[in-house]
Structure 1
Amino acid sequence: MSSRRVMVVDDDESIRMVASVALESIGGWQVLSADSGQACLAMAPGPGIDAILLDVMMPGLDGLTTFRLLQADPATRDIPVVLVTAKLAYGEHPDWEGLAVAGVIAKPFDPMTLAREVGDLLGWND
């Protein structure tokens, strides 16, 4: 298994824990976690982050603002970002439409398939 490094960013500790365990045990990836957009921005320029799973709705710096700031920084703009959100309503034009995200995963997600879903969105399962 490849040793990818993925950052999970969510203000909910239980979601960070479930996602981390799923991505580590099933995906075989190293997982870093951040509890806020600010923490994500501080950690993302570090070595070897292969992807970021980013919660859309967080207090303070929300996921979409965090994504835009990641995109504006040459050190982080090439890190693929998968948004994770409970707000996936059909027929609406989502706030992230037109943004260069790698994909969107709905909450609640299935921990047993999360690594496969992320891998599929990022082209890691080819």
Structure 2
Amino acid sequence: MMVTPASKRILLIDDEPDVQRVVQTCLEKLAQWTVITVTSAEEGLLKASAEQPDAILLDIMMPKMDGYMFLDALWAKPEMQFIPVVFLTAQAGLLEPHHYETLGVKEIIAKPFDPLTLHRAIASALNWELGT
């Protein structure tokens, strides 16, 4: 079943301000999604709990709490187990598809990514329709 694009809210957890700016601009302009940004996994847990986003874009390599530790903490909270997660990472080539699937991650999008097609990759991974 395809989910309609209306008022999608994406939580972006990435410690690189340049990546945050590009992702936020692309998704807000090209897909009309709302992007909530945080710079750490710890902030991400708080924001995910407070905002209940439609999806989370998650960097793996971050200081203190990395993406894997974030997933463990996220999945430990029953109210957040339904939030789909997509890795947005420079480590994409190092991960086997079966590895991220066992983690509950819907897709891995490699950095660097194409800013003009990022929204399509996310929509495809999450089975979301895009507006015209």
Please give the residue correspondences for 1:6-17 in structure 2 after superposition, counting only pairs within 5 Å: 6-17=10-21
**Structure 1 position 70, deviation (Å):** 0.6
Q: Secondary structure of 1:82's partner?
A: strand
**Structure 1 position 7, deviation (Å):** 0.6
> Which of 22, 29, 34 in structure 2 is aligned with 1:30?
34
**Structure 1 position 96, deviation (Å):** 3.4
CA separation in 2, counterparts of 1:97 and 1:75? 20
**Structure 1 position 89, deviation (Å):** 2.5
Please give the residue correspondences for 1:1-126 in structure 2 after superposition, counting only pairs within 5 Å: 2-89=6-93, 93=96, 96=100, 98-125=102-129
8 Å CA contact retained: 2:13, 2:38:
yes
Q: Structure 2, unaligned stretches of length 5 or more?
A: none
CA separation in 2, counterparts of 1:45 and 1:82? 17
**Structure 1 position 2, deviation (Å):** 1.2
How many residues get paired?
125
Q: Partner amino acid for 1:71? A: W
CA separation in 2, counterparts of 1:110 and 1:64? 24
8 Å CA contact retained: 2:14, 2:62:
yes
User: Given the two structures, how large is their TM-score scaled by the length of structure 1?
Assistant: 0.91
CA separation in 2, counterparts of 1:113 and 1:80? 19
8 Å CA contact retained: 2:100, 2:106:
no
CA separation in 1, counterparts of 2:102 and 2:51? 28
Q: Secondary structure of 1:58's partner?
A: coil
Q: Structure 1, unaligned stretches of length 5 or more?
A: none
CA separation in 1, counterparts of 2:93 and 2:54? 29
Higher relative contact order (CA 8 A, sep 6+): 2
8 Å CA contact retained: 1:64, 1:96:
no
The structure carrying a bigger helix percent of its residues is 2
